[in-house]
Amino acid sequence: MAESKPRIPGTAQHFLECGIQDCERNCEFYCNPCHQPMCKQCRDEHLKNPKTKNHEVVLYQLRKRQLPVKKCEIHPTKDVDLLCEECKIPLCSKCAATPEHRGHAFTDLETIYAEKFSFCLEEITKLREYFLPTSQDIQKEINGDAIEIKKAMDNIRTSMKAEAESLKRLVDKVQSENMTQLDQIEHSLLKDLKIQEKTFDEYTKHLNNLIKEFQDFLSSPDPTKLTLTLSLVDMKIQPLPETTKPVTPVFTAGQHSKEDVTKLLGKISIPEIKPETRKIKPMEVPSLPTPTKPTSIELKSDKGKSNVKQTLSLSSSITNFREFKVQGVNKVWHISLDQSGRLWVSDSYGNLVQTDLQGNLLQKIQTSGGRGYHTMTQEGDLIFTDMDKGVINRITLDNNITEFITTGDCIPISIHSSNINGDLLVGLVKRGEVKVTRYDKTGKELQNIQKDNKGQELYGMPRYITENINGDICTSDFNNKAVVVVNISGQHRFSYTGQRPGFTPYGICTDVLGHILVCDYNRVHILDQDGQFLSLLITPETGISPTCVCVDDENNLYVGAIDAKVKVYKYIQ
């Protein structure tokens, strides 16, 4: 039996209605054998009916997932709904009756499928609610440690430089004192030598005078003069003056080694302390209770209560609790929420403004414009594309704008920063060639998604792009008039083309429950994770023309409109 689609409500009052004909009450329960959503009253009637009284009816969130229909290749009129436990292959009922499977044990394939489906949901819950946040917390701690390490190393470098400068100044002082002492010694020795030189100048003069006098006696023609006078005159030669040789100072080189210098300057050492293991908080993931059939008391009394822990779900009505007009734009074509609760809003003229939740203009940037061309990263940076230059820019928290990625001759028309791993998903157009490219945080190209497994082009004009909680990439394709969804590997999952002719998708986002929300003129459609239409959150009766949507961490829905207003709704409880 095919799973029945919930009917499109006339207003935005119900997200899922009872599947029983002519009943318009809210769905609370689910009949697993019939695969039918039910309200409480219809559930009671269903279990009173003799034909269905033994059916397993559970809370809607505990429903057994219906086995997707797959026809048997051997018996095309039969569905594959059994698993041969011995051969480990899926079969239809006719295959199970063939001789090759005679005596084998069979299991209901739908039961196995439901168990595996529930297992996957539980694993996704663990991943999203524990492993990813814990991993991100540890990563933040590691980044914090890296900052502290850099600070510590910079402090050590400063201390080392100061110690070296101090030693240099001391060395310069000692060197200067030694040079001064050497100059003084040199001056004293040269002065002493100068005195000795003067003494010998006078002695040389004395000798020259004696030579002259002796020559005068020798040249005299009177012999008596030489004989008599020489004996009367004191012509004694004075002895050579006594002098001393200078003693030259000796330089004794310093006795030092690398170890001595290390002792003076200090050295770096790592304490012999065992690194402390990072503390990891224990996992506390609530598990779903085992589905149980309601008792007769629960059927007869509204006082019967389930012990199921309450989780988030779509509200039965949508409530508008805030609205404001954005200054600096003529329309609101796209919204990005930053970590401080403020908004980045853009219009069709390239005006990109930051505003608070009262509509006050905080800052404004002129860009080349577009539709879904900006996004917030996990680090709090704003990323936006420049379609004219083929560049993706980054605005950091200190408002520095830098070119981050160059896309060459491909025009970047839409962008989304993943909340799962920080990757960037970018819609690119190049002379009729349209694709979605994945980049990592550093700007390295990781993946290109362009065609389905039949070789057909997936995209026409992906003006808006987002990511779902399971890693699906969801694009709002203006040319194809569809929401195009591929899985994380790029395999096409489904395309949603609306509930009426003329569906024209604009802004798109996803929420914590895996819903896909997409604008369509004066409507906002909400789909489940598999593309099943659930309801219209915004209808023509509201009187607004939504162009873009986004959801914050508190599950508030922000809807941008053509009149430059932003309206904030509650739709999850």
The string of pLDDT tens digits covering residues 189-203 is 999 999 999 999 999
Q: Residue 403 falls within a domain, yes or no?
A: yes
* 69 class by beta-carbon count within 10 Å (0-12 exposed, 13-18 middle, 19+ buried): exposed
- Residue 80 CB: number of other CB atoms within 10 A? 20
Q: Which band of pLDDT confidence, cut at 50, 70 and 90, is reported for residue 226? A: low
Please answer whether residues 140 and 132 qualify as being in contact, where contact means their C-beta atoms are separated by less than 8 angstroms: no
Q: Residue 308 falls within a domain, yes or no?
A: no
What does pLDDT average to over the chain? 84
In a shared domain, residues 433 and 335: yes
In a shared domain, residues 222 and 364: no
Two tokens at 547? 């162009």
Domain count, the chain: 2
Q: How far apart are CA 476 and CA 507, in angstroms?
A: 7
Q: pLDDT tens across 397-407, in order?
A: 888 899 999 99
Q: What is the pTM of this model?
A: 0.49
Q: Residue 13 falls within a domain, yes or no?
A: no
Question: Of 263, 278, 300, which marks where a domain is finished?
Answer: 263
The reported pLDDT for the residue numbered 292 is 38
The reported pLDDT for the residue numbered 457 is 93
Q: pLDDT tens across 76-125, in order?
A: 999 988 989 889 899 999 999 899 898 888 888 888 888 888 788 778 87
In a shared domain, residues 254 and 321: no
In a shared domain, residues 237 and 382: no
In a shared domain, residues 485 and 382: yes
pLDDT of residue 431 exceeding 90? no
Q: How far apart are CA 391 and CA 136, in angstroms?
A: 29
pLDDT of residue 308 exceeding 60? no
pLDDT of residue 5 exceeding 70? no
In a shared domain, residues 257 and 318: no
Q: For the residues 336-351, what does the mean pLDDT come to?
A: 89
Q: What is the CATH number of the domain that holds 492?
A: 2.120.10.30
The reported pLDDT for the residue numbered 440 is 92
Which conformational region is residue 539 in: left (phi greater than 0), alpha (psi within -120 to 50 degrees), or beta?
beta
Beta-ladder partners of 439? 424, 445
CB-based burial, 9-37: b 16+ in 10 Å, e otherwise: beebbbbbbbbbeeeeebbbbbbbebbbb
In a shared domain, residues 240 and 327: no
Q: Residue 46 falls within a domain, yes or no?
A: no
Q: What values do phi and psi take at 21, rounded to 5?
A: -55, 135
| Cα–Cα separations (whole angstroms), residue 137 to 12, 278, 280, 417 | 38, 11, 9, 19
Q: For the residues 52-66, what does the mean pLDDT come to?
A: 82
In a shared domain, residues 327 and 254: no
Q: For the residues 33-61, what does the mean pLDDT come to?
A: 88
pLDDT of residue 225 exceeding 90? no
In a shared domain, residues 250 and 332: no
* Residue found by looking up tokens 């908080």 in the block: 281
The DSSP 8-state label assigned to residue 80 in this structure reads: -
In a shared domain, residues 250 and 387: no
Two tokens at 184? 């003084």
Give me the domain span that covers residue 517.
Answer: 314-572
Q: pLDDT tens across 353-381, in order?
A: 999 988 899 999 999 888 999 999 988 89
What are the helix (H) ranges across 301-345? Answer: none
Q: Residue 194 falls within a domain, yes or no?
A: yes
Sign of CA dihedral 225, 227, 231, 236: positive
Q: How far apart are CA 536 and CA 517, in angstroms?
A: 9
Q: Which residues contact 352 (CB under 8 A, 6 or more apart)?
A: 344, 345, 346, 364, 365, 366, 367, 374, 384
pLDDT of residue 334 exceeding 60? yes
Question: Of 238, 263, 288, which marks where a domain is finished?
Answer: 263
Q: Residue 344 falls within a domain, yes or no?
A: yes
As a whole-number percent, the residues of the chain with pLDDT over 70 amount to 90
Q: Residue 353 falls within a domain, yes or no?
A: yes
Q: Could you tell me whether strands 382-386 and 391-395 are parallel, antiparallel, or unpaired per DSSP bridges?
A: antiparallel
In a shared domain, residues 258 and 361: no
* Residue found by looking up tokens 């940076």 in the block: 381
In a shared domain, residues 424 and 542: yes
Q: For the residues 136-160, what does the mean pLDDT come to?
A: 89
As a whole-number percent, the residues of the chain with pLDDT over 90 amount to 41
Query: DSSP 3-state assignment of 374?
Result: strand
With CA atoms as reference, report the closest residue to 466 among 450, 455, 477, 451.
477
The reported pLDDT for the residue numbered 463 is 95
Q: Residue 141 falls within a domain, yes or no?
A: no
